[in-house]
């Protein structure tokens, strides 16, 4: 991509896109089926928006509750819409980004042997009482009774449920292990004060994996394998996450690590040693500790958003539920377990928090809801003759660049100027915006191509556009 951009920089360019937005109007999309196959147009998508910051109100009607950039931007452009405190409607653009994130997660989890399951959100109280977490979790558990008086909770995590599931298989052999079982489902937590939009809510999506091994040594190997997959995931997303030592909390076990995304609004404080790389949540250090416990160099403190958490559980849960396997000597042994969480909705919001400007959303490249936005000329303008060329370019891109089928949007709101629509496109953060302006009337036609994440602008022919876009990666 960099080589192609270098060759293209010799062509005339425009100034970097402005982040100042004015006269912004709803930006919508529709899956239509005109005579030239299926084109996606930006005029009919359900995308309720609040176009000025002073219109973006919380459920209580106080704009000062919008205390972070990601929440403000996501509500402003219609990515999310508040339903009740701590709960949000996820709207079409967000659902597309979430689906892409889940595909990346699936790829990384299955590359290390993960098998996907789906467990009920309703979890019987007796499972939680067996581990004493029914009382230990306190008010954070969302509890309910059915018509027969049976108690349940809406699961914030599934250690009890998955261990009981494995325990129900009475004939497991050490030859079958390890099992790496994971799911991506809604989770629930009765937060006392939900805030920061999707960063701290009462209902959220999480990837939770549970592993079962035949020995402590094998379990620790699996632990390292999953942590490596997490690092690979964040690298692919372009997020600089730091793995830090952490407290085991109510989940328990003997070892725990958090994956922290550095951010000023982060609610966690962690320390990093610039000399040896040691890192830990401040909760695990002594109150007066300012030097690295490994090399005694001064520690640097930072704030972060926890986007992942891993635990080595040992036999804490397997011994309670009798999740056993038969070893090589035919003896029953409790499985060695680990559990591993990723906050799916939190990763999405945290990425927007750290990558975006104050006015415009920026996505990890793989997660952008749509990769390309095409902007034809305004109706009645001198360039209107290039409108048909824009439609032809849309068809060419989807035919010549197969990975971009379903990833290209045509901004058909031709009653608006190109400049206004470009501001909208900048606000939404499409990685690539292609404009049919004055130079589209040349022979051959040249289209203005904006790379939103880098600010690069080049003019390319039809063939140049498809060559440029052929290098875009999607999931």
Which phi and psi (to 5°) does residue 344 adopt? -70, -55
pLDDT category of residue 35 using cuts at 50, 70 and 90: very low
CB proximity list for 426: less than 8 A, separation 6 or greater: 17, 18, 19, 21, 360, 433, 452
Tell me the domain boundaries of the chain: 53-355, 372-470
d(CA 302, CA 300): 7
**Cross-strand bridge partners of residue 451:** 432, 456
Q: How far apart are CA 37 and CA 32, in angstroms?
A: 9
Give the mean pLDDT of the chain: 90
74 has a pLDDT exceeding 50: yes
| 53-355 and 372-470 agree in CATH topology | no
Per residue in 296-319, pLDDT (tens digit) is 999 999 999 999 999 999 999 999
Q: How confident is the model at residue 72 (pLDDT cuts 50, 70, 90)?
A: very high
Q: Is the dihedral of CA 214, 216, 222, 226 positive or negative?
A: positive
Examine the pLDDT at 25 and tell me if it is beyond 70: no
pLDDT higher than threshold 70 for residue 212: yes
Using CA atoms, how far apart are residues 186 and 86, in angstroms rounded to an integer?
13
Percentage of residues of the chain with pLDDT beyond 70? 89
pLDDT of 56: 52
Looking at the predicted structure, is the pLDDT value of residue 106 above 50? yes
pLDDT band at 67 (very low <50, low <70, confident <90, very high): confident
Helices 92-111 and 216-237: angle between axes, nearest 10 degrees:
140
**Range 372-470 has CATH code 3.40.50.800:** yes
The β-bridge relationship of strands 324-326 and 332-334 is antiparallel
| 213-251: pLDDT as tens digits | 999 999 999 999 999 999 999 999 999 999 999 998 888
CATH number of 53-355: 3.30.930.10
Model confidence pLDDT, tens digit, residues 352-393: 999 999 999 999 999 999 999 999 999 999 999 999 999 999
128-143 tens-digit pLDDT: 999 999 999 999 999 9
- 23, pLDDT greater than 50: no
pLDDT band at 1 (very low <50, low <70, confident <90, very high): low
Is the pLDDT at 449 greater than 70? The verdict is yes
pTM over 0.85: yes
Which pLDDT band, with edges at 50, 70 and 90, does 28 fall under?
A: very low
pLDDT digits 0-9 by tens, 249-297:
888 888 999 999 999 999 999 999 999 999 999 999 988 899 999 999 9
Residue 44 to residue 128: CA distance in whole angstroms = 47
Q: Is the dihedral of CA 8, 11, 16, 17 positive or negative?
A: negative
pLDDT at 10 over 90: no
Whether the predicted pLDDT of 30 surpasses 70: no
Q: Rounded to a whole number, what is the distance in angstroms from the first to the last CA of the chain?
A: 17
Question: CB-based contacts of 286: which residues, under 8 Å, 6+ apart?
Answer: none
Lowest mean pLDDT among 31-35, 52-56, 321-325: 31-35
User: Cα separation of 142 and 155, whole Å?
Assistant: 8
How does pLDDT run across 406-422, given as a tens digit for each residue?
999 999 999 999 999 99
Q: Which tens digits make up the pLDDT trace of 158-169?
A: 999 999 999 999
């Amino acid at each position: 991509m960099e080589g192609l951009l270098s060759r293209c920089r010799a062509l005339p360019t425009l100034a970097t896109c402005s982040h100042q937005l004015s006269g912004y109007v709803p930006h919508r999309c529709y899956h239509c089926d005109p005579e030239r196959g299926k084109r996606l147009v930006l005029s009919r998508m359900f995308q309720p928006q609040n176009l000025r910051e002073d219109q973006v109100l919380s459920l209580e009607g106080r704009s000062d509750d919008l205390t972070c950039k990601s929440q403000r931007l996501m509500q402003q452009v219609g990515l999310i819409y508040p339903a009740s405190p701590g709960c949000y409607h996820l709207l079409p653009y967000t659902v597309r980004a979430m689906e892409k994130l889940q595909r990346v997660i699936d790829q990384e989890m299955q590359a290390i042997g993960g098998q996907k399951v789906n467990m009920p959100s309703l979890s019987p109280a007796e499972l939680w009482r067996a581990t004493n977490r029914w009382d230990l979790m306190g008010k954070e558990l969302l509890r309910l009774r059915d018509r027969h008086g049976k108690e349940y909770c809406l699961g914030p995590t599934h250690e009890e449920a998955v261990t009981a599931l494995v325990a129900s298989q009475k004939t497991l052999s050490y030859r079958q292990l390890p099992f790496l079982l994971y799911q991506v489902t809604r989770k629930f937590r009765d937060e006392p004060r939900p805030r920061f939009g999707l960063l701290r809510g009462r209902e959220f999506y999480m990837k939770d994996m549970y592993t079962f091994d035949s020995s402590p040594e094998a379990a620790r190997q699996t632990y390292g394998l999953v942590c490596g997959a997490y690092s690979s995931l964040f690298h692919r997303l372009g997020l600089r996450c730091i793995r830090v030592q952490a407290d085991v909390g109510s989940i328990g076990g003997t070892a725990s690590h958090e994956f922290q995304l550095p951010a000023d609004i982060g609610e966690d404080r962690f320390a990093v040693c610039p000399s040896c790389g040691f890192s830990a949540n401040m909760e695990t250090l002594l109150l007066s500790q300012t030097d690295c416990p490994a090399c005694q160099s001064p520690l640097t403190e930072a704030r972060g958003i926890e986007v992942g958490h891993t635990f080595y559980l040992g036999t804490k849960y397997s011994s309670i539920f009798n999740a056993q396997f038969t070893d090589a000597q035919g003896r029953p042994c409790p499985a060695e377990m680990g559990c591993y969480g990723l906050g799916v909705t939190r990763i999405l919001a945290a990425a927007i928090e750290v990558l975006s400007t104050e006015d415009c959303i920026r996505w990890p490249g793989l997660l952008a809801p749509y990769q390309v936005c095409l902007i034809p000329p305004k109706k009645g303008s001198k360039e209107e003759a290039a409108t048909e060329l824009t439609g032809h370019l849309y068809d060419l891109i989807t035919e010549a660049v197969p990975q971009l089928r379903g990833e290209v949007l045509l901004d058909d709101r031709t009653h608006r100027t190109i400049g206004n629509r470009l501001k909208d496109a900048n606000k939404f953060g499409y990685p690539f915006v292609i404009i049919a302006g004055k130079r589209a009337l040349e022979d051959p036609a040249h289209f203005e191509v904006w790379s939103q994440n880098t600010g690069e602008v080049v003019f390319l022919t039809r063939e140049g556009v498809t060559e440029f876009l052929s290098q875009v990666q999607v999931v």
